[in-house]
Amino acid sequence: MLSKSCIYALRSIVFLAYNASFDSKIGIKKIAEELDLPTHYTGKILQQLTKNKIIQSVKGPNGGFYLNEKSQEIELIEVIEVIDGLEFFTNCGLGLKECSEEHPCPLHYDFKIYRDGLWNLFSSKSILDLVSKIEDGDAFIKNFEKK
Amino acid sequence: MLSKSCIYALRSIVFLAYNASFDSKIGIKKIAEELDLPTHYTGKILQQLTKNKIIQSVKGPNGGFYLNEKSQEIELIEVIEVIDGLEFFTNCGLGLKECSEEHPCPLHYDFKIYRDGLWNLFSSKSILDLVSKIEDGDAFIKNFEKK
DNA sequence: ATAATAAAAGATAGTCATATCTTTTATTAT
DNA sequence: ATAATAAAAGATATGACTATCTTTTATTAT
């Protein structure tokens, strides 16, 4: 459901929230290394997140990425919107062009329950919520599917 | 969530259930034309469905595709399994390799509700269920996103 | 048997998400 | 000012899904 890029983004952000701060920024290389991600691809994603104010960055020596206080409160759905877009949450499950309460597809009402449920879930969890559930940080950071 | 191929498959099957029978089979050309789908691509999908006994086919003159009685009772999840696979319903929402009741990801329990809900939805609806909800067949057949 | 029909199978092309590398720009410390 | 650092930007490559075309095989009607 979430693209690989989006999951890379979420992992990176959680990693930053957990480990970085304005006074100790973390660079692309370090992030990619710790999360075992392709360096340049990760750079692209971080760049996109920075441009959309999801995370912060500083260039030059001692530069890198970090999250300011506001960013830590960002909801997961905002990250999803930037990376994947919200099509999943707005489009008909059966691909109907016009599917609505007035002209529902055969699965409309059933499908809507779960689609809206996921929307609400991602809209109610912040980066900090994820961080707070990490009991041993490493398991969350290291345990990802590579393929 | 469902791939384009999978939606093409579902539309084709519903169209067949609605319009075809052993005594009046429908060929690829006709199906593609009526549903406004790419002919050869649709052929490939129907072929895949036939191979997996989701639909039936007969070659030669007066041949084409149709659904036998058993096929009409097929659940949507079976079509999804053949075309897209069940990864969506079995994998961790955050891409964790090992995510389970014992080692849950930060979203595991919340996410599971909706993932399982969708699984159950697709497992409880048959082709005939979709057909029976078509009040005016054309709207369902014609109203699909092309892109 | 033969010709016509239509699905099955194989080969090829396009597109988009994923991934990588190189060059440029901005910042900081010296 | 200068050199070092690190993100930003641009160009390119890869793979999977989507799409199309051609050839082969099977069936039916004559």
Residue A113: list chain B partners with CB under 8 A: 117
pLDDT-derived band at A66 (thresholds 50, 70, 90) equals very high
pLDDT-derived band at B140 (thresholds 50, 70, 90) equals low
Strand segments (E) across B42-142: 56-58, 64-66
Q: What is the DSSP letter of B96?
A: B
Q: Across residues B67-96, what is the average pLDDT?
A: 91
Distance CA B125, CA B123 (A): 6
Of residues B36 and B119, which shows the higher confidence score? B119
The verdict on B73 touching A (C-beta cutoff 8 Å) is: no
pLDDT-derived band at A138 (thresholds 50, 70, 90) equals low
> Is a pLDDT exceeding 60 seen at residue B71?
yes
Quote the pLDDT of residue A98. Answer: 80
Quote the pLDDT of residue A147. Answer: 40
* CA distance to A53, A81, B58, per residue, from A75 (Å): 13, 10, 53
pLDDT-derived band at A146 (thresholds 50, 70, 90) equals very low
Residues 6 or more apart in contact with residue A25 via CB below 8 angstroms: A57, A58, A62, A63, A64, A65, A66
Q: Model confidence over B35-60: pLDDT tens digits?
A: 888 999 999 999 999 999 999 999 88
With contact defined as beta carbons under 8 Å apart, do B80 and B6 qualify? yes
Distance CA A114, CA B78 (A): 20
The verdict on A107 touching B (C-beta cutoff 8 Å) is: yes
- Rounded, the Å distance between the CA of A147 and C1' of D17 is 16
- CATH code, residues B4-142: 1.10.10.10
Q: Which of the 42-81 residues on chain B come under 7 Å of nucleic strand C at their beta carbon?
A: 43-44, 46-47, 50-51, 57-65
Closest to A53 in 3D by CA, of A31, A76, A82: A82
Distance CA A112, CA A116 (A): 6
Quote the pLDDT of residue A145. Answer: 55
Question: Is A1 in Cβ contact with B93 (below 8 Å)?
Answer: yes
> Is a pLDDT exceeding 80 seen at residue B16?
yes
Q: How far away is chain B from the Cα of A27, in angstroms, using its nearest Cα?
A: 23
CB of A24 within 7 Å of some strand C atom: no
Q: What average pLDDT is seen over chain B? A: 88
Phi, psi (rounded to 5 degrees) for A84 = -105, -20
Asked whether the ipTM of the predicted complex exceeds the cut of 0.90, the reply is: no
Quote the pLDDT of residue B134. Answer: 74
Q: Model confidence over A31-61: pLDDT tens digits?
A: 998 888 889 899 999 999 999 999 999 988 8
Q: Model confidence over A7-27: pLDDT tens digits?
A: 999 999 999 998 999 989 999
Q: What average pLDDT is seen over chain A? A: 88
